[in-house]
Structure formats: C-alpha cells, structure tokens
Chains A and B, each alone.
Chain A
Amino acid sequence: MQYTVGSIAPIFLSPVIAFVINAFFGRKLPRNGDWLAVLSIFISFVFSARIFGDFFFGQFATDYYIHKTFTWFDLSAGTHVFKVDMGIYLDNMSSIMLLMVSGVAFLIHLFSTWYMDHDERHGRFFVFLPLFTSAMLGLVLSDNLFSLFLFWEIMGFCSYSLIGIYYEKEKAGDASLKAFMTTRVGDVFLLLGIVAIWMVVGSVNYVDIYAAIAQGKFDGPAVLGISFATFTALCIFAGAMGKSAQFPLHVWLPDAMMGPTPGSALIHAATMVTAGVWVSLRMYPLMVLGDITWFIAVIGAITAFGAATIAMVQTDIKAVLAYSTLSQLGYMMIGVGVGSYNAAFMHVITHAFFKACLFLSAGSIIHSVHEQEMPKLGGLKKYLPYTHFAMMCCTLAIAGIPFFSGFVSKDRILGDALYFGFMAGQNPLLAIVPILGFAGAGLTAFYMFRMMFLTFYGENRTHDSHGHGHGHKDDHGHHGHGHEIHHEHLDFRSNVPLLILAVFTLGFWFAGNVVGQNFGNVFGGKNEWFKILVEAPKVEKFVDRPKQAFSSVDTKGEIVLPHAHYHHQSGYAGPNPDEHKLHTAHVIGAWLSIFIAFSGVFIAFLMYIKKSVKPLAEKFPGITEMLKAKYNFDHFYIDILIKKGLLGLNRFLAWLDMGIYDRYVIDGMAAVNRVLFKASKWFDNVVIDAIGVDGTGVTVNLFNLVLRIVQSGKIQFYFIMLVMVLASYIWTLNI
C-alpha cells in the first residue's frame, strides 16, 4: 500500500471543491447542489476509511507516522532562518479522527438534505457545510500549528455563518457575533502561544516541537514570573478553552443552537468544539512540561459539573443538548488533565457519534412537530418510533449506562480522575476533580432522561399550545401551528443517518469488550485497539527524525518499524508501579458510576413518569432561577465586564484620541503643513515652472533657429552635405 499526497489530499480537497462550486454556481445546480456536498464528503469518507483501514489492520507501531512537508515560503537571509513549512501529518490518532469527522459529517450532510428541504437558506447552508467539514479535516491533517490556526479560523467563520444563517432574527445575529467574539478571545492567546513556540523552536511543526521538548529548548527564560513552558502551554490551552467552550469562555456554545439543527450537530459533534480538545491532545507533551495538567483537569471539572447543573432546568430541547455538549467537553478536558490520553480521545470519538445522533434526532422532532420547547412536546414515542429508538440509544450512551459507548470512555476518564484525585499523592484540593466529575455524571443521567421523558413519554401536549403557539418561530423558520403530527415512516435521508449513528453508540466498537473496563472481554482482550493505537506522543522519539518530501511515497513494506502487538492482557501495561492502585481506582470508579447513572435515571423516572417526586423547579425555586440565568455569566460579561469596564476604558481612549491626539497632534501637523505648502508652492511656481520648464523651451527654440536651416527636408541637399563631409575627411587625412 502506497501513500502519496494524491491518496491523502482528496480528503481535504473534495469538500473544498464542493464549497467553491456551490458558492459560485450553487443556484444554477439542481437542488442548490446539496447532492454535490454530500458526494464530496462521501469521497473524503472513502479516502479516510482506506487510511484508517491501513493504520488499523496494518498494525503500525503507535509512534508510526506519515509526515510530508514542503516549503511554503523561505525568507532566510544569511544565518537568519525564516522558513515556513506546510505539510501533512498522519498518525494513528489522525486516522481515527479523520474517519470520525468524515463519517459523521457525511451522515449530517445526508440528514440536512432532508431537514433543509424547501428552506429559503437551503443553498447558503450547503455552501458553508462542506467548507466547515473541510476546515476540520484540514485541521486534523495539518502538520503544524500555523496551518492548524488557519483552519481553526475558517471554522470560526463557518460557525459564525451557520449560527447566524437566519440573520433576520435578532437572536441569531447576536448569537453568531457572540460565538465569534468569544472564541476570538481564545484565538488571540492561541496565536500568542504559537508565536512563543516559534520563538524558541524556530518552527511550528509538531515533530519539531516534540523534538524541542525532548531537547529541553523550552527551559528558557521566564515570562511574567512563570516558566516559559508554562506560559506557552497556558496560551495554547486558552485557545482550546475558547474553541472547546471551557468554563470562562463557555458562553457562546449554548447560544450556538440558534442555527439550523444539523449545523448545530456539526458544530457540537464532529468539527468545531473537538478542535480544542484536539489541539490539547496534540500539545499534550507541552502541557505536561508546563505542569498545567492539574489546571486543565480543574477547568474541565468545573465545566462538566456547571454545565450539567444548568442543563437540568432548560426547557428547550436543543438547549439541553447544548449544555450536555459543554459538560461532555468538560469530561474530555478532565481526561486530558488527569493523563488518560486515549480515554480523552476516545470520548471525543464516542461523543461525536452520540451527540451528532442526539442533535439530528432533535432536528427530526423539530421538523415533525415544529416545536422545540419540551413542555409543549410529550408522548411523541408513537409518532416518531425511529427517532425515539435512536435518541434512546444515544441517551443511554451519554448517561453512562453499561454496554454503551459513553460508559466506556467516560468511566475510563473518571477512573483515572479518581486515581488522580485521591491516590496519586497530589494536592488534596484536587480531589474536587473526581468529585465534580462523578456528580456531573449523575446529573447527566438525570437531565438526559428528563429530556427523554418530557419529549417522548407522558401525554401529548402539542395541542395545548394553540393559543400562544402562533407567534412562536422555531429555528427551522416555521411558525408553530399546532397542526397534526405526521407519523414517521422509514426514510432514507431522515431516519437512516440516525440509525447508523445509533449503531455506533454500542460500547464494544471502541472497547473491544462488552462492558468496557476489561470486564467481559469477548475476544480475550485482543481487540483493545483504541488503547494500542492511541497513546501520548513520546517526545524523545521525535529527535532527529528526517523529514519526507511532499512528493515522496510511503510504502508500508519498506518502513522498518516495530509493529504494535495486540496481545496486551492488561490495558495498563508498562512500568507503572501504581498499576495496582490504578486498577483499583478503575474498578471502584466503574461500579460507582454505574450506581450514580442508574440513580440519576431513577430520580428522573420518579419525577417525570411516576410524578411521585415534585420536579426540581417546584422544590428549589431559588436555585432553579439561578440555573435558568446560567449563573449570570452573560450578565457578568455584558453588563459588568463590557459595559462598566470596557466601555469606561473605551471612553478614556476616545478622549485620548479625540481630545489630545486630534486637537494637538493632528491640528498642529495641519498648521505646519500649511506653511510648508506655501513654501513649496512658491518654489514650484518660480523655480520649477518659470526657470526650469519655460527656460528649457526658450533654449530649445534658440537652437532651433540654427538647425532649421540645415534641416531643409530636401534629400539631395543632404546628399551634397554627405559628400562634402566625406570629402572633408579625406582632406583632413591627407594633411
């Protein structure tokens, strides 16, 4: 099997081509070119699947990678090297990520062709959707932080456009601006981090950065009193916080549901928010070097728990899902922070499948009922059986019920968090990480089943809303009419994507055993492929690795590298003295989270099905109000931070600008200029015009008087002159 650029680049290029064609000729194509977008993503999927298959069945070593670079531009002068490379970096992790992104995005595209049918923004939607996907695929493929940053920003733009696609709605416009501005705060830090890395490494290649870490180039001078590695790692992580919506910068993600539901599915599952986790995983050695992993874990824990509490009181079905995304991203960050590298990445993948499915199911509900407020839904199970089945699978997965994917990945993270918080001899205050993590897991089970029960069970309340339902407009651009709900029939575009995604909520795809956590191995633990393929990069191995030319060919047979072995009985192989303790932590964590998940489901059941316990809102009205206000973060940012702090600063700067700078500097310059202008006007009129220009004319005229006599225009006179001149030569020579 050979790898050239031609077998990798189509993954990124085919959605780009679809974007260009749809952007310029979309209106002329049948169905606004949505089939082209779907086809392009399918091509990406086929190429990704081939790469994944090779990495998966080829049993490459975990540190095997394909790295092809070319020089983008080279401004080196003498000894000063300034050279920017671009390229492709492909390892086990990117092959898994590519397959996930292209596969999930393909299903989302397919669903969108049904969801956005007859929508006024149908064409516009299918311009941004492939661009968004291509940016994510490019981000996964890129070999350096600089091109990663480019794709990162393209995704920021696409999310802005998709959130605000119904721009005539004021809320949608505000939400898109908020998403763009909030992520921008993180982006500035990310750029700063990239510049800092460039400063010490002289390159922003992953491989070069890993090698530089191994060679200790980051042990340089301190910045602002903290070590350079910590500073850089914090900057990179701040970027990830913006994109992955972590605690202080999380405010944009819940509002991002203003866009069409498939767009939300793409933002929440496959593309945008996973980019932050992706960069944290890629820069994991730097995070470890900078010793900020505990900080990442704490931020993740706060996000996981806080978002879960807010999700409990939301009434909008998409808002619940948006906050659950926040919460799950928090778990991923906990995973990064507590050092369970492959579990964090596994959670990215499992979360992408179930969250895409949840959002598409919500889209299916909204499209059928034209209503997204849960108090006005209910009893939909008999109308939407397929959606119910898919959504139930995903809910079980996200709630962490055994046999489903969420249990496998989340509980590996929580097990490691338990070890990290209580047994690893850390600061005792860090026990807050597993405590908040487990509490959030219980709340997750509760609020997800609350959503399920309110939406699909109980009596149907869609007809209650006749009175005030008419003024309401859902995100699909339809007015709620309270009309008859259509019974769902199995449809290729609307139900099949959901059912395919639902299949992948089963745990054994990822764990290789039925339950996860090494209980009930089906194939003797041989298929723990995730643990074998994905591991944190070992930086020493990257020192002095030669670079491949962009046009080079990777041939599997010719590369001599140790192959990975699929026979680890224990997933925690390696010289870890605390292996036993870790194993104990995982066993405790697994039973604890099974207990917590089931009790969450049970409480939801009591509250919303049996109604023997009063719902939360009636029991604790004060807390509910606080949660409904989302802990007042929007109020804090907009009213206090921006209106009081930034506005005052703005006024001061405006005074500096208009009062001082304009009056004295600008006007003073004007006065000086006026004098200079007069002087130069005199110079121009007298010296240049009168003496220079006119004087030249007069001089030429004088010569003209003489020359006119000779230049008679009579050719025979010229001949005589010629002969006379020649004769004079001869006469001169003779003398």
Chain B
Amino acid sequence: MVSLASYLIISLILFVVGLVVMIARKNIVAILLGIELILNAAALNFVAYSRYATNNLDGHIFSLFIIVVAAAEAAVGLAIVIRFFQIKETIHIDEATQLRN
C-alpha cells in the first residue's frame, strides 16, 4: 500500500527540481520544461489528495484542466521562443531585454 506521504514526496521533488531548473537555467526551453514540472507536481498533489482525503473525482478533473492549460501554455511559450530565436538568433533568457528602458 503506497501512502499519501510518498506521493507528496515525489510531488515535492518534482516541484523543487522544476523550481531550480526555472531559476538556474538560462535556456528558455529549459525554463519552460521547469514550468511543466511544477505543473505536474501540482497535478500529482491533486490526484493524491482526491484519492486519500476526499475520495471523489474533483481532483482528477482539476488535474485534467491543468494538463490542458499546460499544453496550451507550452504551445504559446514555444511559439514565443521560436519567434524570439528568429529575431535574436539565440534562446538565452538574458537577451530578452527589449522592454527595458
């Protein structure tokens, strides 16, 4: 029997890894991957709690929404990255400074 804690630990690991990737990497694609990890950590939490705490389908539905949102966000984000690469010929995050000043 797998306990709730193990789910939460996996989810925590995913969250922290995603956060670190998001902050530490300078590659925009890697940052997007980090965000996906964080979203998945949240989805995992929802499913785990719906199984162990409330025992209904609310969490499942919520995690489905999260997957949809994540897919949409990935599509938009990657489109932005492609346009950014076409303009700057790099995907280094620190080059995205057109709005400064």
A: residues with CB less than 8 A from B are 713-716, 719-720, 723
Contact = CB atoms under 8 A, between A and B. Distances in A.
Contacts of A715: 31, 93, 96
Nearest to A719: B23
Nearest to A714: B94
A126 B66 CA distance: 76
B23 A713 contact: no
B6 interface: no
Instruction: Output the residue of B23, B26, B96, B97 with the most chain A CB within 10 A.
Output: B23
B22 A716 contact: yes
Contacts of A719: 19, 22-23
A580 B23 CA distance: 121
B23 A720 contact: yes
A555 to B, nearest CB: 65
Contacts of A713: 96-97, 99-100
A719 B22 CA distance: 8
Q: Which 7 A-B pairs have the closest CB atoms?
A: A713-B100, A719-B23, A713-B97, A716-B23, A719-B22, A720-B23, A715-B93
B73 to A, nearest CB: 15
A713 B99 CA distance: 8
B93 A716 contact: yes
A723 B19 contact: yes
Chain B contact residues: over half helix, strand or loop, or mixed?
helix
7 contacts: A713-B99, A714-B93, A714-B94, A715-B96, A719-B19, A719-B22, A719-B23
Interface residues of B, number: 12
Nearest to B28: A715
Nearest to A711: B100
Contacts of B26: 716
Interface of B: 19, 22-24, 26, 31, 93-94, 96-97, 99-100
Contacts of B96: 713, 715
Contacts of B93: 714-716
Given A713-B96, A713-B97, 11 more contacts: A713-B100, A714-B93, A714-B94, A715-B96, A716-B23, A716-B24, A716-B26, A716-B31, A719-B19, A720-B23, A723-B19
Nearest to B34: A719
Contacts of B31: 715-716
A429 B19 CA distance: 117
A714 B96 CA distance: 8
A540 B90 CA distance: 97
A243 to B, nearest CB: 76
B23 A723 contact: yes
Contacts of A716: 22-24, 26, 31, 93
B17 to A, nearest CB: 14
A716 B19 CA distance: 10
A719 to B, nearest CB: 5
A331 B85 CA distance: 99
A647 to B, nearest CB: 76
A713 B93 CA distance: 10
A713 B100 CA distance: 6
A714 to B, nearest CB: 6
Contacts of B22: 716, 719
Contacts of A714: 93-94
B41 to A, nearest CB: 14
B43 to A, nearest CB: 19
Contacts of B99: 713
A197 to B, nearest CB: 72
Contacts of B94: 714
